[in-house]
């Protein structure tokens, strides 16, 4: 009787399915025994729990030295744009509101506008280049994307403002004033949008 009971208990591991024999959900390592002369009868495959679960390490993101050089140029340009905006707005107001503005006002207004155009061209190239190099870095990706979209939109606004620049020599007074209002509105909107996009990176790095 006792020997029969021991024989039944010895057969239990092979009668219970592997999924029900394992009392917890954990990573497992499968152990197999191969048939050898010393072991002509292979052991049934068993699932053994691992002591430590396998964790995938995050991949390190490396940036080139050129990335940081472009980033420095981009930051210096972003700090320069606010003084240029203020100077351009002041010159534009004097040019429009003064009955007889000095002769240097208009060339200075055009020169500052050209400086803004050059600045935004450099920042657009360096910004998009760095955006592409950082495309695999998930840290701050949304912020970088929003910043890039706002700055590209302000680029388009500055181009539109330049195309809407009024000339006293052409058209009637009413048409001139309409173009002045459109030019000023688009320029101020572009100033505000680019300042918002720049502030994102100033405060959040």
Tell me the C-alpha distance between 188 and 191, whole Å. Answer: 5
pLDDT in tens, 12-35: 455 445 544 444 444 554 445 555
pLDDT in tens, 171-197: 455 688 888 899 999 999 999 999 999
Token pair, residue 40, equals: 């002509």
- State the burial class of residue 197 (Cβ atoms within 10 Å of its Cβ: 0-12, 13-18, 19+): buried
Buried b (16+ CB within 10 A) or exposed e, 106-123: eebbeebbeebeebbeeb
Distance between alpha carbon 103 and the CA centroid of its chain, in Å?
A: 45
Q: What pLDDT was estimated at residue 24?
A: 46
pLDDT in tens, 119-172: 999 999 999 999 999 998 998 899 999 999 999 999 999 999 999 988 765 545
Confidence tier at 56 by pLDDT (50, 70, 90) = low
Tell me the C-alpha distance between 185 and 189, whole Å. Answer: 6
Tell me the C-alpha distance between 183 and 161, whole Å. Answer: 5
pLDDT in tens, 86-107: 999 999 999 888 878 888 999 9
Closest to 150 (Cα-Cα) out of 122, 184, 127, 133: 127
Tell me the C-alpha distance between 203 and 11, whole Å. Answer: 69
Confidence tier at 66 by pLDDT (50, 70, 90) = very high
Q: Please give the model's pTM, rounded to 2 decimal places.
A: 0.66
Q: What pLDDT was estimated at residue 53?
A: 61
Crossing angle of helices 141-163 and 173-204, rounded to 10°: 160
């Amino acid at each position: 009787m006792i020997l029969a009971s021991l024989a039944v208990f010895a057969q239990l591991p092979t009668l219970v399915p592997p999924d029900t024999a394992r009392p917890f959900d954990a990573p497992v390592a499968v152990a197999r025994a191969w048939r050898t002369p010393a072991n002509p009868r292979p052991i049934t495959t068993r699932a053994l729990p691992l002591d430590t679960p396998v964790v995938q390490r995050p991949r390190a993101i490396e940036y080139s030295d050129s990335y940081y050089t472009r980033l420095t140029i981009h930051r210096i340009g972003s700090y320069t744009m606010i003084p240029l905006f203020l100077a351009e707005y002041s010159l534009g107001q004097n040019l429009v509101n003064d009955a007889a503005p000095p002769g240097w006002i208009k060339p200075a207004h055009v020169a500052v506008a050209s400086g803004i155009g050059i600045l935004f061209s450099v920042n657009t190239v360096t910004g998009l280049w760095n955006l592409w190099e950082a495309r695999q870095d998930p840290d701050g990706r949304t912020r970088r994307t929003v910043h890039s979209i706002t700055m590209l939109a302000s680029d388009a606004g500055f181009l539109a403002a330049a195309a809407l620049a009024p000339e006293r020599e052409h058209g009637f007074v009413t048409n001139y004033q309409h173009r002045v209002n459109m030019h000023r509105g688009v320029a101020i909107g572009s100033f505000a949008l680019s300042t918002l996009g720049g502030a994102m990176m100033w405060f959040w790095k």
